[in-house]
């Protein structure tokens, strides 16, 4: 009996040690006190995208126009752990750091509403300012920065271990056309997903780090989206494309950034884990905001946070 109890205690102690190593504490890091409220996400593997068969089955054998060929199902490994913000960046958080608010869908200020009408460029700049104010986030000898989540990190967190095409209880998890009156709602009013993350589907869309492009056909580790656009300076040189003339350029010739999660104008059948959207990086929408991660710096071409 004593040996059995000792064995149980040893197993419990070993398990606790593993957990404490997997969940490093933010208390030891110099992080912005206004942005507390992050969930630690362990590294892992999953199937990103969707299967054509799922599209037909979930839509009574009719292909949903929102589901595109670029949702090619492929294997992804997230090799690093990171912190994902529990909810979208709020008006209060944005105003306190940036000193201003953009025009909001509701037409009013509300500290608990997610900030929207934000371009990808502005969301990335928000992260840059956080990094300037908190330059040394080092935990257990590892350096972290504030940035937007990659598209692969975002879907990994949205699924939270789910393998189905979409959640069965979508109206309990998010605000959609059927339950929102097409109005952005305050954060954290719906149930969180299995990993404790709120409003991953519906309400406001969320910018991701990546340039938009088709998925790879082979397994990948820590993908960061299309990178060849970053080497084409003609796409990104503002001197070649003054803002006044961008509207004259066909949208399909402009590089676009990914945003995920749909929004409150999407019907519940369109809010899937894998649905992708994209917009020009300097464009704004009253239905798109963002949330941030505290993660390892992305190593690759282009600006590290953009």
Exposed/middle/buried for 216, CB within 10 Å: 0-12, 13-18, 19+? middle
Instruction: Compare 84 and 134 and report the one with higher pLDDT.
Output: 84
Which pTM does this prediction carry? 0.82
**Domain 37-295 annotated CATH 3.90.1580.10:** yes
If pLDDT is split at 50, 70 and 90, which confidence band does 173 have?
Answer: very high
Per-domain residue ranges for the chain? 37-295
Helices (H) and strands (E) in the chain, counts: 9, 12
Q: What is the mean pLDDT of residues 93-121?
A: 85
Least confidently predicted of 26-40, 133-147, 180-194, 209-223: 26-40
Over its C-alpha atoms, the chain yields an Rg (Å, rounded) of 20
User: In a 3-state reduction of DSSP, which class is residue 262?
Assistant: coil
Q: Is the pLDDT of residue 15 over 50?
A: no
Return d(Cα 82, Cα 117) in angstroms, integer: 27
| Residue 93, CA atoms < 13 Å, CB-side half-sphere | 26
Q: For 144-164, what is each residue's pLDDT tens digit?
A: 999 999 999 999 999 999 998
Per-residue pLDDT at 305: 46
Residue carrying structure tokens 């000792």: 6
pLDDT at 18: 27
Residue 238: pLDDT above 80? no
How many residues appear in the chain? 306
* Residue 206 reports pLDDT greater than 90: yes
d(CA 168, CA 172) in angstroms, rounded, equals: 9
Residue 167 scores a pLDDT above 50: yes
More reliable by pLDDT, 165 or 289: 289
According to the model, what pLDDT value does residue 101 have?
86
CA distances (Å), origin 86, targets 48, 78, 195: 21, 19, 9
Q: What integer pLDDT is reported at residue 80 of this predicted model?
A: 92
Check pLDDT > 70 for residue 3: no
């Amino acid at each position: 009996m004593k040996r059995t109890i000792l064995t149980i205690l040893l197993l419990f102690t070993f398990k606790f040690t593993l957990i404490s190593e997997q969940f490093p504490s933010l208390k030891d890091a110099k992080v912005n006190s206004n942005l507390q409220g992050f969930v630690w996400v362990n590294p892992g593997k999953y199937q990103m995208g969707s299967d054509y068969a799922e599209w037909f089955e979930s839509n009574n054998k009719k292909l949903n126009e929102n589901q595109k060929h670029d949702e090619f199902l492929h294997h992804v490994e997230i090799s690093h752990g990171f912190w994902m913000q529990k909810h979208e960046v709020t008006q209060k958080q944005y105003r306190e750091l940036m000193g201003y608010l953009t025009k909001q869908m509701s037409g009013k200020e509300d500290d608990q509403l997610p900030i929207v009408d934000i371009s990808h460029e502005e969301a990335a700049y928000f992260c840059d300012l956080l990094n300037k104010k908190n330059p040394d986030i080092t935990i257990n000898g590892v350096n972290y920065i504030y940035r937007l989540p990659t598209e692969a990190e975002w879907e990994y967190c949205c699924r939270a271990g789910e393998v189905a095409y979409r959640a069965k209880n979508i109206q309990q998890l998010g605000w959609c056309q059927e339950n929102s009156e097409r109005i952005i709602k305050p954060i954290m009013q719906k149930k969180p997903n299995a990993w404790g993350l709120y409003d991953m589907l519906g309400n406001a869309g969320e910018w991701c780090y990546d340039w938009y492009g088709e998925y790879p056909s082979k397994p990948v580790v820590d993908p960061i989206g299309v990178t060849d656009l970053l080497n084409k300076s003609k796409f990104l040189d503002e001197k070649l494309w003054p803002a006044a003339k961008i509207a004259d350029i066909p949208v399909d010739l402009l590089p676009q950034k990914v945003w995920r999660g749909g929004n409150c104008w999407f019907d519940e059948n369109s809010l899937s884990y894998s649905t992708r959207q994209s917009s020009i990086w300097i464009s704004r929408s009253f239905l798109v905001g963002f949330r941030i991660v505290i993660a390892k710096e992305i190593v690759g071409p282009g600006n590290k946070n953009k």
